[in-house]
Amino acid sequence: MPLLSADPAAFPAEPPGDPDDVASIAAHDWSAFSTLTEMTDHWSRPGWPDGARAYYWMLTFPDASTLIDLALRCQESLAPLGLDPVPAEDGLHITLARVGGREVVTTEQLVSIARTAGRLLPGAFALRVVPLAGSRGAVRFSVSPWGPLVRLHAALLQAGRAEGITPSKPTALLRPHLSIAYNNRRRDARPVVDAVASLRSLSAVHADVAEVHLVELRRDGVTYRWDVLESLPLMAPHFAAQAQRP
């Protein structure tokens, strides 16, 4: 698995001690979030005004009913804070990697990247989702293990490089998470941290990851929407293990 490294721009800045251990990931995410004193406006991101579009690799969960129910339950509890909830029925996602803007990446390159990625993808896997934590600009679930996500991310970047696309963020800085609400103004972090703390004892759910999507992502007001351009299946675990043998 590619090594993860520290960077002050990432959140958390340091990777967890063990990126495949559930407890290590959960404790590390919570330690970073629970010590925040201020949260920032997620929508003040440079280069992402309302209507902005770009190509990304993403995981989506439209059929994960237990995950959707959990997200809705947490969003209901957090509603008094005035956060912008992620549409739970069709908006839950894990952003993996930016491919590039529409003004930079051509349709031909997208086709080639998808074709190359299809030959590099690792095997399917399952994620454990929970407990709830957050970042400077969002409330989000911790996910584990990170190992399969890191390997998937590395394969997708390799596909992009093969087609002349320079990644905007290396795999070493990946911090996997699943956001359920975005913060929309500068505020004292403590009320949000306290509200999230009350939800951390909820039972974990699992979500299967059997495919990855190449999408055109767009900001639509205070949410993200996307059009799927390519859906690439991950190999069944048995075949993935065979492919990794020398």
pLDDT tens digits for range 194-220: 999 999 999 999 999 999 999 999 999
Taking only the tens place, the pLDDT of each residue in 50-71 is 999 999 999 999 999 999 999 9
Residue 129 tokens, joined: 């989702």
Delimit the domains of the chain by residue range. 50-241
Distance, in Å, from the CA atom of 8 to the CA atom of 175, rounded to the nearest integer, reads 12
pLDDT of residue 238: 40
Residue 7 has pLDDT above 70, yes or no: yes
**Separation of alpha carbons 159 and 118, rounded Å:** 9
Q: What is the pLDDT, as a whole number, of residue 20?
A: 95
Q: Name the 3-class secondary structure at 114.
A: helix
Per-residue model confidence as pLDDT tens digits over 140-183: 999 999 999 999 999 999 999 999 999 989 999 999 999 999 99
> What does the alpha-carbon distance between residue 100 and residue 45 come to, in Å, rounded to a whole number?
16
Other residues' Cβ atoms within 10 Å of the Cβ of residue 149: 25
Q: Is residue 107 classed as helix, strand or coil in its secondary structure?
A: helix
**pLDDT tens figures, 114-142:** 999 999 999 999 999 999 999 999 999 99
Looking at domain 50-241, its CATH architecture is Alpha-Beta Complex (3.90)
Per-residue buried b or exposed e for 188-217, using 16+ beta carbons within 10 Å of the residue's own CB: ebeebbebbeebeeeebbebebeebbbbbb
H/E stretch holding 229: strand 224-233
List, in sequence order, every residue forming a beta bridge with 129; answer none if it has no partner: 143, 205
User: In angstroms, what CA-CA distances link 18 with 15, 22, 205, 220?
Assistant: 8, 9, 21, 36
What's the confidence (pLDDT) of residue 236? 64
Residue 242 CA to residue 246 CA, distance in Å, equals: 9
- Calpha distance 151→6 (Å, rounded): 18
Question: What's the pLDDT at 235?
Answer: 78
Confidence of residue 46 (pLDDT cuts 50, 70, 90): confident
Residues 6+ apart with CB under 8 A from 244: none
